[in-house]
Amino acid sequence: MASIRQVHQECASQATRAVNISLTFRNWLIGAHIHHYELQGADRATYGDRLLAELSEALRSHGVSNSGRRQLYGYLAFYRAYPQIVRTVSAPFAALQPAPPRGEKVRTPSAQSPAVSAAYPALLVNRLSYSHFEQLVDLDDKQQRAFYEAETLRGTWSVRELKRQIATQYYQRSGLSTNKAALSKRAHASAERAAPQQLIRDPYVFEFLGLKAQEVVTEGELEDALLDKLQAFLLELGHGFCFEARQKRLLIGGEHFFVDLVFYHRVLKCHVLIELKNDAFRHEHLGQLNSYVGYYRQHEMSDGDQPPIGILLCTGKNTELVQYALAGMSNQLFVSRYQVQLPGKEEIAAFLHKAVEELGGQAG
């Protein structure tokens, strides 16, 4: 059995890497085409902005995913930051690579490039997802970018971990530290490592493959099963819940986020957002939910709607917590109606506790 499981895991990992490599090549090649043919090697700020907006509209009309104007700029920046990837383009993609127009110099890696050997670009492409590259491209300093490349490879960091290390200025702290080895050891000891499941759930990947968000964005079988039960539980209450979305994707500040369940309450005339966390309550859970509530309040409310409501559910081995986010509502009459129309905290807590027990007590 162990051998079969090993075969399954290795083949699944290979398939995930193949998808991510294809996506990386795809975005790099799009950037190359924009650079050589659309902009003809120039930046041309005003002209380029108009051109990329028109190109984005045309690509979307032809069903090309991930082709927003901001994303096209990202592909262009990716190509310009990583010309050395040309060395790794495999035969199936080679025919898609644009030849520079006559008179334009072929781009080669600069002297400051971290590509110390011919194998290095291939290592980057094989080990990093496009979302990793997206974070690295934002770093203008080539030495800083090379530092985070090396550390990400060495620690097999997830995208979230790379973002965290950049945000906490690991590079700058390393430069100031008198004991760099100790700092590095501490940074890698608590780092989140990338897993195939994380890579395949990348929003770029499932749009590239034409998948729906709910087909790929789950945090485990227990949580998925709990969401199934919770969805049925709320609809069976008959208090006005109308199901709207599961794993609703929001684009906030250029990042993708997902709301576990979204209902519209026809009596209260508001959206109800539900987040389920398969662990104990942490303050950042409530902050995340409030961000979603704020997004809905600004972008999804229609005339006559009341402010959205958020409900946070957390599970633990022997605990459950229900937290209602009222989104700063000041209408006391509405708050009173809300308290009557929505299930009580005790009722939801009892449901959650029972559901976890029925599913084998695997929470936490």
Q: With the CA atoms of 172, 178, 184 and 190 taken in that order, what torsion angle do they form, in degrees rounded to the nearest 10? A: -90
- What average pLDDT does the structure give for the chain? 77
116 close to 124: Cβ distance less than 8 angstroms: no
Residue 349 Cα distances to 230, 290, 315, 323, angstroms:
11, 20, 9, 10
What does DSSP say about strands 241-252 and 309-315: parallel, antiparallel, or unpaired? unpaired
Q: What's the order of all strands across the beta sheet hosting 320-325? A: 241-252, 255-265, 270-277, 309-315, 320-325
Longest Cα–Cα distance in the chain: 73
Residue 252: predicted pLDDT: 82
| 84 secondary structure, DSSP code | G
- Select from 3.40.1350, 2.60.120, 1.10.3470, 3.30.310 the CATH code of 219-358: 3.40.1350
The domains of the chain are located at 2-200, 219-358
Residue 285: predicted pLDDT: 82
pTM: 0.62
Distance (Å, whole) CA 360 – CA 348: 19
Residue 19: predicted pLDDT: 84
Distance (Å, whole) CA 159 – CA 65: 21
Distance (Å, whole) CA 65 – CA 52: 15
Residue type, 258: F
Distance (Å, whole) CA 124 – CA 119: 9
| 314 secondary structure, DSSP code | E
Residue 104: predicted pLDDT: 52
For the chain, 364 residues long, give each residue's pLDDT as a single digit of tens: 777 877 877 777 787 788 888 889 999 999 988 888 776 655 555 556 678 888 888 998 888 888 888 888 999 999 999 988 887 766 555 556 666 555 555 454 444 444 345 578 888 988 899 989 999 999 989 999 999 999 999 998 988 889 889 988 999 999 988 898 898 898 888 787 877 666 666 667 767 776 665 555 555 556 667 778 888 888 776 678 888 888 888 888 767 788 888 989 888 888 989 888 877 777 788 888 888 988 998 999 888 888 888 888 887 655 677 777 765 555 445 555 666 677 777 888 888 778 877 766 444 4
Nearest to 81, CA basis, from 21, 146, 129: 146
Residue 200: predicted pLDDT: 61
Nearest to 32, CA basis, from 68, 69, 81: 81
Residue 6: predicted pLDDT: 78
Nearest 5°: CA angle at 196, between 138 and 210? 75
Distance (Å, whole) CA 251 – CA 273: 16
Distance (Å, whole) CA 340 – CA 355: 24
Q: With the CA atoms of 198, 200, 203 and 209 taken in that order, what torsion angle do they form, in degrees rounded to the nearest 10? A: 180
pLDDT tens digit sequence for 290-345:
889 889 989 998 888 888 888 888 876 556 777 777 655 554 455 556 666 777 77
Strands (E), the chain: 241-252, 255-265, 270-277, 309-315, 320-325
